Structure 1
Amino acid sequence: MNMTESQNQDLNKPALPMNIQQIREYLPHRYPFLLVDRVTEITDNSIVGYKNVSINEEFLQGHFPEYPIMPGVLIVEALAQISGVLGFVLNNEKPQPGSLFLFAGAEKVRFKKQVVAGDQLVLKSELVMQKRGIYKYNCTASVDGIVATTAEIIISHQRI
């Protein structure tokens, strides 16, 4: 790759940190289902971002209301969402109408720590396999440096 190609590739990467307006350009999700608040780091094969968990979250109102904890399925969804952002970046494209990364599966999911109101859930995703529009990521969600959830996330690039 020559210098011009390398410079053009960098021009297509989003500026960091990605705020919520930029994230909304990459994810079709909207309130209350958009679960990535900020993207802080992107490398050639990984991404880091976070979700601030507030007591005002709708899901905390009914999920153990006396001791509200973030549902594990939503932590896994947040990992899939940040992986979807990485998928677009790795493909060197911004989302276009009809182009989506869809959650296709989760393997080896483990919940190790509860996530509660006031926590900042740090989301990390690293590409481990890409084949024919299917992407597999090793993902970790942590709070204060302590792992809360690990999973292998599979997403599929679809054009509808």
Structure 2
Amino acid sequence: MKNKQFKGETLENKDIIDLLPYSEPFLFVDELEKVSENGISGTYTFQQDEFFYKGHFKDNPVTPGVILTECMAQIGVVCLGIFLLKDTEPENCSVALSNSTIDYYLPVLPGEKVKVVSEKVYFRFNKLKCNVKMFNAEEKLVCKGEISGMIKANE
């Protein structure tokens, strides 16, 4: 985002999404609902024509667990990390996931909207660790777990 200064300013939810290092077809964030120092929540709708449904599974498409984990990481760790870095220059940072432990309970089908809720466990020494949950439109738990990431300033 050229000509936009964030240092010392409050980031708007749309600004956070614009700063994500992803683009379609690998952007899994539609909207951020709540953002605070302690957590974040946001949504994504898995469109019927997503690239991964063609082969997972034949004649019975289901969202792969690795994609659900990626959605949870993008909303629950990367977006939160960008917000937590608002007093620096978040557009000059990158995030690398360092660990995830996820348990899956329900499938996510094409066309489903999910909500990700993340609570910060800690953010220190540029490592962000969060407890993350994903819910479907019926507010049933789809998956939950812990995701950690390292935030690094780009040279």
Say yes or no: TM over 0.5.
Answer: yes
SS at match of 2:90: coil
Q: What is the TM-score normalised by the length of structure 1?
A: 0.83
Unaligned runs of 5+ in 1: 1-7
User: Quick check: 1:101 aligned with 2:99?
Assistant: no
Instruction: Count matched residues.
Output: 145
In the other structure, the counterpart of 2:64 is 71
Q: What is the TM-score normalised by the length of structure 2?
A: 0.86
In the other structure, the counterpart of 2:125 is 132
Percent sequence identity over aligned pairs: 26
Are 1:51 and 1:120, in contact at CA under 8 Å, matched by a contact in 2?
yes
In the other structure, the counterpart of 2:36 is 43
Cα distance between partner residues in 2 of 1:75 and 1:23? 20
CA RMSD of aligned residues (A): 1.8
Cα distance between partner residues in 1 of 2:108 and 2:23? 21
SS at match of 2:28: coil
Are 2:16 and 2:82, in contact at CA under 8 Å, matched by a contact in 1?
no
In the other structure, the counterpart of 1:13 is 11
In the other structure, the counterpart of 1:28 is 21
Give the deviation of 1:23 after TM superposition: 4.7
Runs of 4 or more consecutive aligned structure 1 residues displaced over 4 Å after TM superposition: none
Q: Render the CA deviation track for 1:81-137: whole Å, top value 9, x for unaligned.
A: 11211111122245323x112211102x10000000121011111111122111100
In the other structure, the counterpart of 1:120 is 113
Unaligned runs of 5+ in 2: 1-6
